[in-house]
């Protein structure tokens, strides 16, 4: 196994003016720890975005249109169902189940005093993050509504 690999994306290609950017050597262990942390942080950002979407758009759209006690809402039910179908369920799933499991799986890498020179811990955490995705794979079918 190679102790390093050449990172893709950053470090390749040309910058403005035609100058070649230098290639960066990326340590294998830092790349192994990057993946699970990136997945966890991306999920945390996604949950924040879903929460904002529900608070700023979904809930206000359910408000009564003609005052308290009215059955008419700002956005009619049929339109809300088309636009916001299942968002609150997605938020609940990600916030209460998926994100906490990802955080638990990635938590060993969140230690600022981490010493993982040989990459053993990073590999174990990456496998744990993969297990979370395998466990919750059936719940990801909730997104089929948006794919159609």
Tell me: pLDDT of 4 over 70. Answer: no
> Which of 49-53, 68-72, 82-86 has the highest mean predicted lDDT (pLDDT)?
49-53
Mean pLDDT of 88-112: 93
Tell me: pLDDT of 78 over 80. Answer: yes
Locate the domains of the chain by residue range. Answer: 27-147
Tell me the average pLDDT of the chain.
79
Question: Please, which pLDDT band fits residue 27 given cuts at 50, 70 and 90?
Answer: very low
Tell me: pLDDT of 105 over 70. Answer: yes
Rounded CA gap, 32 and 147, in Å? 31
Share above pLDDT 90 across residues of the chain, in percent, rounded to a whole number: 39
Mean pLDDT of 115-139: 90
| Res 22: pLDDT | 42
Mean pLDDT of 31-43: 86
| Res 16: pLDDT | 54
């Amino acid at each position: 196994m190679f102790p390093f690999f050449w990172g893709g994306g950053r470090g390749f290609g040309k910058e403005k003016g035609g100058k070649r950017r230098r290639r960066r050597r990326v340590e294998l262990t830092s790349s192994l720890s990057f993946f699970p942390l990136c997945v966890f942080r991306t999920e945390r950002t996604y949950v924040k975005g879903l929460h904002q979407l529900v608070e700023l758009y979904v809930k206000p759209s359910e408000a009564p249109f003609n005052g308290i006690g009215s059955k008419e809402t700002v956005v009619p039910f049929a339109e809300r169902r088309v636009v916001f179908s299942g968002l609150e369920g997605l938020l609940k799933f990600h916030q209460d189940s998926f994100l906490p499991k990802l955080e638990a799986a990635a938590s060993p890498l969140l230690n600022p005093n981490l010493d993982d020179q040989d990459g053993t811990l990073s590999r174990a955490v990456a496998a744990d993050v993969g297990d979370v995705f395998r466990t919750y794979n059936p719940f990801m079918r909730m997104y089929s509504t948006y794919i159609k």
